[in-house]
Structure 1
Amino acid sequence: MICERFTTGSPEELEDAVEAAVMAIQRGDLVVLPTDTVYGIAADAFDKEAVAGLLEAKGRGREMPPPVLVSSTATLDALATRVPGYARALVEAFWPGPLTVICHQQQSLQWDLGDTRGTVAVRMPDHEVAREILERTGPLAVSSANLTGMPAATDADQAEEMLAASVAVVVDAGESPGGEASTIVDCTGDQGRILRRGALSLEQLNEVLEPLGATLTDLD
């Protein structure tokens, strides 16, 4: 596969980059895109073969399904069901941003993200380029742009070096502003639980929840 790289320095370059990424996604190809945390490798969440290709490109198995990025908080209810109040409070406070929430998925969804056990991990990134792409493609399965076991790419050079053989388009928007992965919170139970520490701390999350009489538990 030929990997094309697009920069986003001017409005015209940005439009070309977004359009190339959208067309690649629609063809079932993989794309590297910038986010507010680290660079991601993306596939159409509803394209089973594309998602399988994403996992293969990273060297991952089905036991590590990718999260789904969305362009709007309203999309959460299209993908998830039985979303608890504390999860909605966190989403309201930290989306767009480095928070991934795991919820029960809508049973009607026709997709295969891997061995999700009936759940979906959802995030809305705080990055203009990423959201512009998402607004045109709909939900994307997105994992950090790296080979499993390697550090996540924080710029397009690192991502391209690891993944150029697997992706059709690399969107280069410079250095990732965050550089640290999102915090993942399991919201499938009565009390939320941090599954991965990231850009948001337990203290920041609980600061939102404590006035509501709720708190999260941390990793053991």
Structure 2
Amino acid sequence: MALDDKCVEKIYHVKNRSLDHALNLNIASFEQMTFFSKNQPKYLEKLYNKFMPGSLTVILEANDRVPSLVNNGMSTVGFRMPDNQATLEILRQTGPMVGPSANLTGNPSPKTADDVLHDLNGLIAAVLKDDANISGVDSTIIDLTGEMPTILRQGALTLSQINEVIKG
């Protein structure tokens, strides 16, 4: 869980990830996103309704409910809503969880459950196997904290797709 420092520390350790790289919050609802953020743009709900769950990671200003280990003192936090019904049900029951890719830091993003096990076997307790829902394409990361949306990582969604929803 994202609210349990020991769990978050373990994820950093398992991924061999330095503490200066923040983690996303995986969420199950718009309400969870707004509960852990502040100064949301007026068009946020439009983006949520169009692209979530899906391949979009949204960067917003963090509020003081975001555990410090999740964003490591940064003023922002990323939100991702996975497009997997089993994962969403778990998130509904547990609340937000940190959601990095399921690989060792620096390795390619996994495309199958076997890829996850190849990287993390012996380091994690289980894998939820649902290879049909793994696209192999990273999410688009978009920063919504400035005047204009800024893509930080191009993934499955383009800026023009995002702008079409914002302006529509």
Normalized against structure 1, the TM-score is what? 0.71
- Any stretches of 5+ residues in structure 2 without a counterpart? none
For residues 86-101 of structure 1, the aligned pairs below 5 Å read 86-101=43-58
Kept after mapping to 1: 8 A contact 2:30/2:45: no
**1:176 aligns to 2:130 (yes or no):** no
What is the identity, as a one-letter code, of the residue corresponding to 2:50? A
2:123 to 150, 158, 166: 166
Distance 2:67 2:110 in 1: 30
Once residues 178 and 109 of structure 1 are traced to their aligned partners in structure 2, the CA distance between those partners, rounded to angstroms, is 29
Contact 2:55 2:138 in 1 (8 A): yes
How many residues align? The count is: 168
Corresponding residue of 2:42: 85
CA positional deviation for 1:209: 2.0
User: Alpha-carbon deviations, 1:72-102, whole Å to 9, x = none?
Assistant: 1121111111101133322222111111111
Would the aligned equivalents of 2:83 and 2:133 in 1 still touch at CA under 8 Å?
no
1:16 match: none
Aligned-partner Cα distance in 2 for 1:114–1:74: 19
Q: Which residue of 2 aligns with 1:127?
A: 84
Q: What's 1:30 paired with?
A: none
Q: Which runs of 4+ in 1 moved over 4 A?
A: none
Q: Give yes or no for contact 1:46–1:111 (8 Å, CA) kept in 2.
A: no
Q: CA offsets per residue over residues 44-69 of structure 1, 9 Å max, x none?
A: 10111211211221121112111111
Greater strand content: 1
Identity %: 35
| CA distance in structure 2 between the partners assigned to 1:182 and 1:150 by the alignment | 16
Given that 2:101 and 2:109 are in contact with CA atoms closer than 8 Å, whether structure 1 keeps it comes out as yes
- Distance in 2, matches of 1:126 and 1:116, equals 28
What is the identity, as a one-letter code, of the residue corresponding to 2:143? D
Q: Is the 8 A contact 2:80 2:99 kept in 1?
A: no
Distance across 2 between alignment mates of 1:64 and 1:182: 17
Match of 2:145 among 159, 166, 188: 188
Classify 1:74/1:114 alpha carbon distance in 2 versus 1 (closer, same or farther; 3 Å).
Answer: closer
Q: Name the residue aligned to 1:201.
A: 158
Equivalent of 1:142, from 99, 110, 119?
99
Aligned partner of 1:115 in structure 2 is 72
TM-score, normalisation: structure 2: 0.92
Contact preservation (8 Å) 2:112, 2:134: no
Distance in 1 (alpha carbons) for counterparts of 2:37 and 2:15: 26
CA-based RMSD of the aligned residues comes to 1.6
CA contact (8 A) 1:98 1:183 kept: yes
Question: Is the contact between residue 99 and residue 123 of structure 1 (CA under 8 Å) also seen in structure 2?
Answer: yes
Residue of structure 1 equivalent to 2:8: 51
Q: CA separation in 2, counterparts of 1:162 and 1:110?
A: 27
**Which residue identity is paired with 1:93?**
K
Distance 1:116 1:200 in 2: 28
CA contact (8 A) 1:95 1:124 kept: yes
Change (3 A) 1:128 1:108: closer
Structure index of larger Rg: 1
